[in-house]
A = this chain, B = another copy of it.
Amino acid sequence: MSVSSSSTNSSRTLKIGIVGFGPFGQFLAKTLIKQGHPIRATSRTDYSQLCVHLGITLFRDMDSFLESDNDVILLCTSILSLSEVVRAMPFHCLKRPTLFVDVLSVKEHPRDVLLQVLPEESDVLCTHPMFGPESGKDGWKDLTFVYDRVRIRDEATCSSFLHIFESEGCKMLQMSCEEHDKLAARSQFLTHTVGRILSEMEINSTSIDTKNFQKLVQLKESTVRDSFDLFSGLFIHNKFAKQELKNLELALDKVKQKLLERMNEELDLSVSNH
């Protein structure tokens, strides 16, 4: 893992094709457009009006999208649909070696899928921008961008792509996909799990909230704004998540045991005092 402040001034304009034009793809596109990169998109949902508005060329079929000669293909699908979407791509339509970049919140899974499915001459950069439409709405300065240069031969294109995030002031963090998933299972997945548990309990503000309880209510609310598909993806496609779920269960059990032991001690004490 290393924090790079990259001295490459690779500000080459890149033709970027976005696959999956949902909220996260749109969010990234706005900054890419601002930086002057020509954007093309394809999505199962019809975003034609939005694309006209943003000046993006929208392709409704994947053949013509791949034929449109992109320097970078940015995969903005959900975790759960990545494999299906990539496996369905007609790669023979690609005109030349292309850099494929994913932005998922798990990293080993897209790495494995891309290495398995993409043409051998395609480069692979696995990334996780640790921000989104909410946290990144006032710019990306100091927000963390994790990446792993999984298979890079065309250094210039890869540098130019990374420069997009560097030039916005992101904290650039190079880290292996495995290391990312290990840390993310303990942080992001665990946080989502606690939020989902609190949502299952239907906690709500009371007239006697403590400050810390208010934080839990906020966590619950922010967790359920994300889809259950995202949460499932964090679990299913991060091999470290199952262990963290077990750790959470074990920790709850341990806390419960400690409470019961203390309660029994108190009972014994109270019996011996009367």
Contacts and interface: CB of A to CB of B under 8 A. Distances in A.
Interface of A: 1, 80, 83-84, 87, 128, 130, 135, 144, 146, 173, 175, 180, 183-184, 186-188, 190-191, 193-198, 200-201, 203, 206-213, 215-216, 218-219, 222-223, 228, 231-232, 235-236, 245, 247-252, 254-256, 258-259, 262-263, 266, 270, 273
Given A84-B273, A186-B203, A255-B193, A135 B211 contact: yes
A195 B215 CA distance: 12
B203 A216 contact: no
A256 to B, nearest CB: 6
Q: By DSSP majority rule, is chain A's interface helix, strand, loop, or mixed? A: helix
A261 to B, nearest CB: 9
Contact of A236 (B187, B211, B266): B266
Number of copies: 2
A218 B218 CA distance: 14
Contact of A187 (B184, B206, B258): B206
The 4 lowest CB-CB distance pairs between A and B, nearest first, are A200-B251, A187-B213, A232-B262, A191-B213
B208 A191 contact: no
30 contacts: A1-B207, A84-B273, A87-B273, A146-B208, A173-B207, A173-B208, A180-B208, A183-B206, A183-B208, A187-B206, A187-B209, A188-B210, A190-B201, A190-B203, A190-B216, A195-B212, A197-B251, A197-B252, A200-B254, A201-B248, A201-B251, A212-B219, A215-B215, A232-B263, A235-B262, A236-B262, A245-B256, A248-B252, A249-B252, A252-B252
Contacts of A266: 80, 232, 236
A184 to B, nearest CB: 6
Contacts of A235: 259, 262-263
Contacts of A263: 232, 235-236
A186 B216 CA distance: 11
A217 B175 CA distance: 22
B186 A255 contact: no
A269 to B, nearest CB: 8
